[in-house]
Amino acid sequence: MFSKMRIMQKIIINQKYYGSIEIEENDEAKRVLSKVRNAFGAGKSMEIGLIFPQYKLKALESYQKGGARQELADIDLYIALGKVLKFDTIDAEKLKNKIELINDIAHNHYNISKRLTLINKAKATKNRGDYLFWDIENFSNIGSLFNDVIEKFDIPDNRIYVAANPDSLYLYKSQWEADLYDYKKTLQSFNFTKCDHGKNVADDILLGHFQKLSLQNTNVYLMTFDRELKERFVAACHPSNNLYILEK
């Protein structure tokens, strides 16, 4: 579902072979490769500004929707080409570090994409619509969740269900709200339920919302590491849905 086609690309400039690198087979990678080849072949000074116009470099100094994933991929390719062609990439590496820090990836990024697993069938079916059920007490990496799921699949606020008990809210609400503020959200932006005290009460609330919706032909994302809650969702899930869970 998340795999991207990659190919081995020979680097030949002015009829000289420098080596080969693995690149994604898409127009953006070809654009970066062409920019670097042309500049290097013409003997120009190599700098990250070759692949980004000045306005883009300026924009990358602030938060980018999606965590600037494409721009980071472009920079990684530029750095890889620098290793093959033996040119300095310090400016690119500094920019990459800055982007990651600004977008809360370097220190707080758990790659959900690599851990989302289709649990209720062998192969995903073509469905319409996406819903998210978020056990925020169990999984609170907000930056990752927005970058890898909410923004990636364009899940609207009214299809996101969250529940937390008073103890968790007392301990963590200020941090959750601070992280959500980066995305111009609060807990109240979603279908949020402040539930009662007690073990598994929040789990019961999330499962209850899921059962009440009676979803069919839908992509369902359950964000939790709680094994029991995963099992309860699987048991309640209509076979037409694609149910995705987190694997550690």
Q: What is the per-residue pLDDT across 168-196, written as a single tens digit (0 to 9) for each?
A: 888 889 889 988 998 999 999 999 999 87
Q: Which of 11-20, 184-193, 208-217, 225-234 has the lowest mean pLDDT?
A: 225-234
Euclidean distance between CA atoms 15 and 39, whole angstroms: 15
Instruction: Look at residue 2 in the predicted model and tell me its pLDDT.
Output: 40
Structure tokens at 34: 């062409």
Residues spanned by the domain of 157: 112-246
Report the pLDDT value the prediction gives residue 3, as an integer from 0 to 100. Answer: 40
- Identify whether residues 76 and 120 lie together within a single domain: no
Query: Are residues 144 and 202 located together in one domain of the fold?
Result: yes
CATH classification of the domain holding 162: 3.40.50
The reply to whether 203 falls in a domain is: yes
Last residue of a domain, one of 84, 102, 120: 102
- Which pLDDT value is given to residue 150? 93
Q: Is residue 145 located within the same domain as residue 236?
A: yes
Handedness of CA 70, 75, 76, 82 (dihedral sign): positive
Distance CA 199, CA 214 (A): 25
44 lies in the same domain as 162: no
**Chosen domain end from 102, 124, 144:** 102
Q: pTM for this one?
A: 0.58
Does residue 140 share a domain with residue 94?
no
87 with 164, same domain: the answer is: no
Q: Which residue, of 32, 67, 102, is where some domain finishes?
A: 102
- What is the reported pLDDT for 103? 64
Indicate whether 15 and 121 sit together in one domain.
Answer: no
Verify that 117 and 237 share a domain, yes or no. Answer: yes
Confidence (pLDDT) at 226: 84
Let me know whether 59 and 162 are in one domain. no
With respect to residue 235, please indicate whether it lies within any of the assigned structural domains: yes
Number of domains in the chain: 2
Q: What is the pLDDT of residues 82-119, one digit of tens each?
A: 999 999 999 998 888 888 766 655 445 566 777 889 99
Contacts for 47 with CB less than 8 Å, ≥ 6 apart: 91
The proportion of the chain whose per-residue pLDDT surpasses 70, expressed as a percent, equals 90
